[in-house]
Chains A and B, each alone.
Chain A
Amino acid sequence: MGWRAAAAILGKDLKLELRRVETVATMAVFAILVALVFVFAGDPTPADLRRLGPGALWVSLLFAGAIGFGRWFAQEERNQALQGLLVSPVDRAALFAGKWAGATIFLLGIECALVPVTLTMYQLDLAGSLIELALLLVVVTMGYSALGTFFAAVAAKTSAGELLLPILLFPLSVPLILAGAEGGQALVEGGRMGDYWSWLSLAVAFDVIFGTVCTLAFEYVIEE
Chain B
Amino acid sequence: MIWYLAAYAMFWAVLFGYLLGVSTRQQKLVERAEELTRRLAGPGPGSEGGT
Q: Do A and B touch directly, given a CB cutoff of 8 Å in the complex?
A: no
Q: Which residues of A contact B (CB under 8 A)?
A: none
